[in-house]
Structure 1
Amino acid sequence: MDGQELQKIAGDYAAGFPGTGLERRSGPDWHLYKVRGKVFMLMTDMPGRPVVILKADPDDAAALREQYADITPGYHMNKRHWITLQGGGTVDGKLVKELVVDSYRLVVGGLPTSEQPVDPRTWTPARP
C-alpha cells in the first residue's frame, strides 16, 4: 500500500468515530483528528512520503517499530508515545485500522469520564 492509500484508509475510518473532529493546518499541510479537542491522529507529507502519526502505548510502540519496517517513532511527536506509519510492504489496511482504534481509545481514556464519548475499554467501531 502506498502512503496516499494509507492516509485514505486511516482518515475515512477515523472520521466516523464518536466525538471526532478534523482540523486542517497549512504550511506544511497537516490534518489533525481530534476527540473532544485532543489529537489522536495526524496526517502530513514528510519529504516525498505521506504518513499517518498515531498515539500508542509505549510498550506496544516499541514492539511495533521492531516488527514493522514501515512503523517508526512519531514524527514531530513524543517518540515513546507516538508512532509514524508510512506506505510500504509491511503495513496493511487491517493493521492501520487496528492502530487507529488503539490511538482513539488511548486518547479517550485520558479524558475526564464526563467528556468521554464512548467507554474506551469496551468501544469498537460499528464498521470493519
Structure 2
Amino acid sequence: MKGTTLQEHARSRADELPGTSLEHPFGPEWEVYMVRGKVFMLLTAVTGEPIVILKAAPADGEALRSAHADITPGYHMNKRHWITLSPGESIDKALVNELVTESYLLVVENLPRTERPVDPATFGQSHAGEIGR
C-alpha cells in the first residue's frame, strides 16, 4: 500500500470513530487524532515517507512487528506501546482499519467511564482476536 493511501485509510477510519478530534499540536506536518484529549493516532511524513503511528498493547505490537515487515516500533514514541505503519505490501485496508480501531479502544478504556464515547467492552467485539493475523 502506498503511503498516501495508508494515511487516507487511517484518517477515514479515525473520522468514523465517536468523540475523535484532529489537532496539530506539533505543527502542520503532524496530524494528531485524539479522543477526549488523549492521543490515539499520529500521521506525518517527517521521516521522508507518509507513516501512521498507533497505540498497541505490548504483546500485540510485538506480534504485529514479527508478522509484518512494514510495522515497526513507534516513531518518536514509547517502543513498547506504539507501532508505526509504513508504506509496503504487508499492510492492507482491513488491517489499517483494525489497528486504528484497536488504538482508539486502548485509549478509550483508560478514560473515566463518564468520558468514554463508547463502551470498549462492546464496541469492536467483532474485531476480538484478529490482531496479529
Correspondence 1:114 to 2:114? yes
Distance 1:51 1:11 in 2: 11
Query: How many residue pairs end up in the alignment?
Result: 125
Which residue matches 1:73?
73
One-letter identity of the residue aligned with 1:117: P
Structure 1 pair 104–36 and aligned structure 2 pair: CA distance change class (3 A): same
- Give the Cα separation in 2 of the matches to 1:76 and 1:47: 11
Superposed displacement of residue 25, structure 1 = 4.3
* Local SS of the residue matching 1:22: strand
Which structure 1 segments of 5+ residues have no match?
none
| Secondary structure, aligned partner of 1:42 | strand
Which residue in 1 is equivalent to 2:44?
A: 44
Query: 1:30 corresponds to which residue?
Result: 30
Unpaired runs of 5+ residues, structure 2, are 125-133
Residues of 1 paired with 2:83 and 2:104: CA distance? 13
Instruction: Name whichever structure is richer in strand by fraction.
Output: 1
Cα offsets for 1:55-108 (capped at 9, x unmatched): 000000001001100000000100000000011010001000000000000000
TM-score of the superposition, structure 1-length normalised? 0.93
CA RMSD of aligned residues (A): 1.5
How much identity, in percent, do the aligned residues show? 59
Aligned to 1:15, the other structure's residue is in SS state: helix
Secondary structure of the structure 1 residue equivalent to 2:62 = helix
Match of 2:60 in 1: 60
Distance 1:28 1:103, change over 3 A: same
Deviation at 1:48, TM superposition (A): 2.0
Residue 104 to residue 48, structure 1, CA distance change in 2 (3 Å): same
Residues 88-107 of structure 1 correspond to what in structure 2 (within 5 A)?
88-107=88-107
SS in 2 for 1:40: strand
Using the TM superposition, name which of 46-55 and 62-71 deviates more: 46-55
The CA deviation at 1:26 is: 5.7
